[in-house]
Amino acid sequence: MKQLALAVIIPAHNEAERVAAVLETVLKTPGIDEVILVDDGSTDNTAEVARRFERVRVERLEKNRGKGGAMLHGVGICGNVDALLFLDADLIGLKPEHVSSLIAPVVNGEADMSLGKFTGGRGATDLAQSIMPYITGQRAIRRSLFESIPDLDNVGFGIEIAITLHVKAAGRPVRTVLLSGVTHPMKEEKMGMLRGAAARMKMYSEMGSFVMRYFLSGKAKDARRCADLAEISGDAEPLPASRRH
């Protein structure tokens, strides 16, 4: 089977200190057709750091739109690719072999989505992903399947769990890939204990709110139909203008 063309999309907010290491790793990984860094209204020089890499397309959003908005913007501007890889901009310990392992199930046609799970990095992040593995920011997915997910621009911090719930409800094959030695800073480390804890509570609140709305709305029942229609329509159509944020 011919491998699918793939774009890497990295949403970033105030990650000037860490984003270069992630980009260096991605650019060393074979099989990637496009790399997009979406600077989500950073107040530091995240965009300037990313622009040092000639093969990286840098999109600067003047206003912070949240992770979901940055992800959707990246998908909306990427080229004629069949698969997407989303990575966080603050990863520590990421190596090309991690990226290759994460994209392999999707680009080789073995799965429609793969989820990266931290292991052996730090106890705190390993535990968090063991408790809530579906909220990982490291995932590859077929583009058409991603674009079949409704209302992603309204889910806030629930973007990752929204993607996972849709794909699971659609009955599509998913693979979990262990990312040995990979971790990232906790919110409390980046923002300070009080602000970080408040941000974490907001994130969990928005996730919980989305899960309740998702099942009450009946969208889970429509997930398979949406995914089937996306497969029929093909994998490389651009995101509609109404979904670009």
The CATH number of residue 105's host domain is 3.90.550.10
| CB atoms inside a 10 Å sphere around CB 108 | 13
| Percentage with pLDDT > 70 across the chain | 71
Residue 242 falls inside a structural domain: no
- In this predicted structure, what is the pLDDT of residue 184? 86
pLDDT bracket for residue 199 (50, 70, 90): low
Indicate the angle between helix axes 159-169 and 66-77, nearest 10 degrees. 60
> Has residue 141 got a pLDDT over 60?
yes
- Between the CA of residue 60 and those of 14, 47, 55, 199, 235, what are the distances in Å? 12, 7, 16, 23, 26
Q: Which two tokens stand for residue 219?
A: 């969208």
Q: Give the C-alpha separation, 20 to 50, whole Å.
A: 7
Residue 1 falls inside a structural domain: no
pLDDT bracket for residue 202 (50, 70, 90): low
- In this predicted structure, what is the pLDDT of residue 108? 92
pTM: 0.81
Q: Which residue has the higher pLDDT, 61 or 129?
A: 61
pLDDT bracket for residue 242 (50, 70, 90): very low
Q: Which residue has the higher pLDDT, 208 or 241?
A: 208
> Has residue 212 got a pLDDT over 90?
no
- Our CA dihedral for 245, 104, 131, 150, rounded to 10 degrees, sits at 30
- In this predicted structure, what is the pLDDT of residue 130? 72
Q: Give the C-alpha separation, 20 to 176, whole Å.
A: 26
- Residues 10-39 have a mean pLDDT of 97
Overall number of domains in the chain: 1
> Has residue 190 got a pLDDT over 90?
no
Residue 245 falls inside a structural domain: no
Query: Is 185 strand, coil or helix?
Result: coil
Q: Which domain holds residue 174?
A: 6-237
Residue 16 falls inside a structural domain: yes
Residue 227 falls inside a structural domain: yes
- Residues 58-64 have a mean pLDDT of 95
> Has residue 129 got a pLDDT over 80?
no
Q: Which residue has the higher pLDDT, 229 or 82?
A: 82
Residue 115 falls inside a structural domain: yes
